[in-house]
């Protein structure tokens, strides 16, 4: 019996993507917002597995339960945060995509859902969201109340 451990993983496992990922785009925009507001309003990006479907099952002939199935999609939430207001938080938008493929992604803002097929499309939609009057009002209000 051999005690030598064999590495079965390919050398290119975990190689970075050539295309900018939604998460890196969101993190960069979060950093920029904090700088633009002098830290009065920051943004954080929270990522988690997005529930896909409910699995129906029964335990020992008891009541039926439905549990979410996790792991197929990633969900990134872009949350505005005002440290001067006891870390008040406001969900501005979210982006979800398959774990294996970052695009197409689904961008949700207010009552709107946008399908984005590339990093360029995502960047364009984010520019619209950041420039929207409602976003500017929210950020201005948080800045004013934080000082």
Provide the sign of the torsion angle of the four alpha carbons 108, 114, 120, 124, taken in this order: negative
Element (H, E) at 36: helix 22-36
Task: Give the tokens for residue 135.
Answer: 């976003």
Report which DSSP code applies to 74. Answer: E
pLDDT in tens, 94-136: 999 998 899 999 999 999 999 999 999 999 999 999 999 999 9
Domain ranges (residues) in the chain: 22-146
Per-residue pLDDT band for 32 (boundaries 50, 70, 90) equals very high
Rounded to two decimals, the pTM is 0.81
Q: Which stretches does DSSP call E strand in the chain? A: 42-50, 54-58, 64-68, 73-82, 88-98, 105-109, 112-116
- Residue keyed to tokens 């619209």: 128
């Amino acid at each position: 019996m051999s005690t030598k451990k064999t590495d079965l993983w390919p050398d290119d496992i975990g190689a970075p993507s050539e295309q900018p990922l939604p998460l890196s785009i969101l993190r960069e925009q979060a950093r920029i917002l904090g700088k633009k507001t002098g830290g009065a309003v920051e943004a954080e990006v929270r990522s988690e597995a997005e529930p896909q479907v409910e699995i129906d099952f029964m335990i020992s002939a008891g009541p039926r339960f439905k549990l979410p199935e996790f792991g197929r999609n990633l969900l990134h939430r872009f949350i505005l945060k005002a440290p001067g207001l006891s870390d008040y938080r406001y969900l501005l938008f979210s982006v979800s995509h398959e774990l294996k493929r970052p695009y197409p992604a689904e961008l949700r803002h207010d009552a709107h859902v946008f399908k984005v097929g590339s990093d360029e499309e995502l960047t364009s939609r984010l520019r619209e969201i950041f420039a929207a009057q409602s976003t500017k009002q929210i950020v201005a209000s948080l800045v004013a109340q934080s000082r």
